[in-house]
Structure 1
Amino acid sequence: MTTDSAPAAPLDSALAIVEAITSLAAADRLLLALDFDGTLAPFVDTPKSARALPEAKAALERLETMPSTWIAYVSGRPLSSLEIVTEADADALLIGSHGVEVRFGRDGVSLDLSVDEQDKLARLGDVLRALVEANPGTRLETKPVGYGVHYRNLESGTGEDIVTAASSAATAISDALTIRDGKDIIEFSVRGADKGDGIERLREYTDATAVLFAGDDLTDEDGFRVLRPGTGDIGVKVGAGETAAQFRVADERAVATMLTLLAEARAARV
């Protein structure tokens, strides 16, 4: 497993993350909060076909059978999509739409959009749909409280123009939108929430004494910032880029290796 530390931490070896994971395995109440795309599952051209790597899935299935251990998926995907790709059962803990949607087992959370939010959402959809139709290679994703404009299939260097055009069109609707710039996607929401909010709600719900959060995208930085390293929390950045996480791993396969190590270490302790 190739690792190096994020800039904020002095540790820079594979041994450091192994030691941290081994220590985390001893937590009284352990919460694993995990991004999905680019963390557990490789990116694919058809989003609904994404699945976690078999090694990662096997490690998570083992961990979720252990006492005082919770697995949660924290994603920008809508819950309806996240349920499919994670193959979640009725008791799964899911945070969708960057924290806006929450499903704690069988108890869902209603969005209850106001009339003003519904109006903004409708107008936002109209302008972004027109933009995407005028720019082949882009794709509009409908989310519960907003939209995402994907541009991964555009020629290199042309995505910035789409981001600028989409931002201009969206802010003409409202200057109070929540805007997130992710990997080859720009997202606009009529209601604000982030992955950090989702992790805090998961921590409260599970009464976790330690949290592991892993993610690869810019939007995952909100999650890293709410972690409490002094109490045993661990943040793991997947791939390149500046980050607030303590540790970094190279890719999804390294995440699977890390989870396998954690499963083995926790099984020996609980």
Structure 2
Amino acid sequence: MSDAVSALAGTDVLLVALDFDGTLSPLHDEPMQARMHPEARTALNALRAAPRTTVALVSGRSLGDLRVIAEHDDTSSVWLAGSHGAEFWQPGVGVHASAEDAVDDGLRDTLRSHAEEATAGLEGVFIEPKTFGFGVHTRLATPEDAEKANGAVDAIVAAEAPHWRRRTGHNIVEYAFRHEGKDSAVAHLRELVGATGVLFAGDDVTDEDALASLGPHDLGVHIGTRQTHASVSVPDIPSFAALLSRLAAERTAGV
């Protein structure tokens, strides 16, 4: 792992693109209460100060929600890719305009309402509004109620919007009428900043597209213990924060 970090530290233009939930912040029963782990924040601040280095957050969260939980304001130098790469925020520019589809917006609202009705009697099930769809959270539900909720909403979406994309994560199933993934988000960020090397890290199934898309001069990191496309795995957020801090130190020392 040290060799991989050192090799990446020497790249000309570095992009550090990171998932948020489970990667920089512990998973939280109340999604909007998630906040960055202090050690992760310290490491990110060091990378933001490193030469020729861009830091980005790449999340399934809607852009507005991502800004709240990341405590991100208009003065930040951190790039954002929300909704799995369907929304972008650029330092000094702001939100990149996204084409709106009134038909799909209407269908989104209808499906979300139907999902809320179908799961209303299941304790611990929460429907999260998203810009391009919605998510079904079951972290606080029993396994039986989680199965009922996911089955009911799967049936609704299959009947009313079979063209929507379905993603699974930690105790959440997401549905969206946009099909961008974190792989396309990282590719777009790489092009925008002219990166010669990329570090991407995540903890969930939805991060695997991006991890699988990385090239030979990049570094993929998985936080956790499951099977992954990442070349490096670390057990938890503090361990990952230590890796980021080492990357920042080596990159700064190489000036």
Q: Normalised by the size of structure 2, how large is the TM-score?
A: 0.94
| Contact 1:148-1:187 at 8 Å conserved across structures | yes
| Contact 2:51-2:252 at 8 Å conserved across structures | no
2:254 equivalent to 1:269: yes
Distance 1:122 1:83 in 2: 23
1:265 aligned partner, one-letter code: E
Counterpart of 1:116? 103
Counterpart of 2:131? 144
CA shift digits 1:86-116 (9 cap, x unpaired): 1223243001111111112223123332232
Alignment of 1:218-257 (within 5 A): 218-228=205-215, 230=216, 232-257=217-242
2:52 equivalent to 1:62: no
Distance 1:69 1:214 in 2: 16
2:91 equivalent to 1:107: no
Distance 2:243 2:195 in 1: 20
Counterpart of 2:194? 207
In the TM superposition, residue 63 of structure 1 has moved relative to its aligned partner by: 1.3
SS in 2 for 1:110: coil
| Contact 1:123-1:173 at 8 Å conserved across structures | no
CA shift digits 1:15-49 (9 cap, x unpaired): xx111011111111000000011001111222222
1:194 to 181, 185, 208: 181
Counterpart of 2:18? 34
SS in 2 for 1:64: helix
Q: Tell which deviates more after alignment, 240-249 or 154-163.
A: 154-163
Report runs of 4+ in structure 1 exceeding 6 Å deviation. none
Q: Tell which deviates more after alignment, 188-197 or 101-110.
A: 101-110
Q: Normalised by the size of structure 1, how large is the TM-score?
A: 0.89
Q: Which runs of 5 or more residues in structure 2 are unaligned? A: none
Distance 2:105 2:66 in 1: 23
1:168 to 117, 139, 155: 155
Counterpart of 1:79? 63
Q: Tell which deviates more after alignment, 236-245 or 150-159.
A: 150-159
Counterpart of 1:44? 28
2:76 equivalent to 1:89: no
Distance 1:103 1:162 in 2: 33
> Cα–Cα, structure 1 residues 122 and 85, in superposed 2: closer, same or farther, change >3 Å?
closer
In the TM superposition, residue 157 of structure 1 has moved relative to its aligned partner by: 5.2
Between the two proteins, what is the percent identity of the paired residues?
37
In the TM superposition, residue 242 of structure 1 has moved relative to its aligned partner by: 2.1
Distance 1:23 1:36 in 2: 24
| Contact 1:235-1:245 at 8 Å conserved across structures | yes
Distance 1:258 1:220 in 2: 18
SS in 1 for 2:49: coil
1:264 aligned partner, one-letter code: A
In the TM superposition, residue 158 of structure 1 has moved relative to its aligned partner by: 4.2
Counterpart of 1:134? 121
| Contact 1:120-1:190 at 8 Å conserved across structures | no
Higher relative contact order, chain-length normalized (CA < 8 Å, sep 6+):
1
2:152 aligned partner, one-letter code: A
CA shift digits 1:125-171 (9 cap, x unpaired): 12111123121210010000100000000124542332222111111
| Contact 1:151-1:159 at 8 Å conserved across structures | yes
> Cα–Cα, structure 1 residues 118 and 89, in superposed 2: closer, same or farther, change >3 Å?
closer
In the TM superposition, residue 221 of structure 1 has moved relative to its aligned partner by: 0.6
CA shift digits 1:65-93 (9 cap, x unpaired): 12210000001111111111212232430
| Contact 1:127-1:170 at 8 Å conserved across structures | no
Distance 1:199 1:137 in 2: 34
Alignment of 1:2-13 (within 5 A): none
Q: Which runs of 5 or more residues in structure 1 are unaligned? A: 1-16
Distance 1:111 1:142 in 2: 18
1:99 aligned partner, one-letter code: G
* CA-atom RMSD in angstroms: 1.4
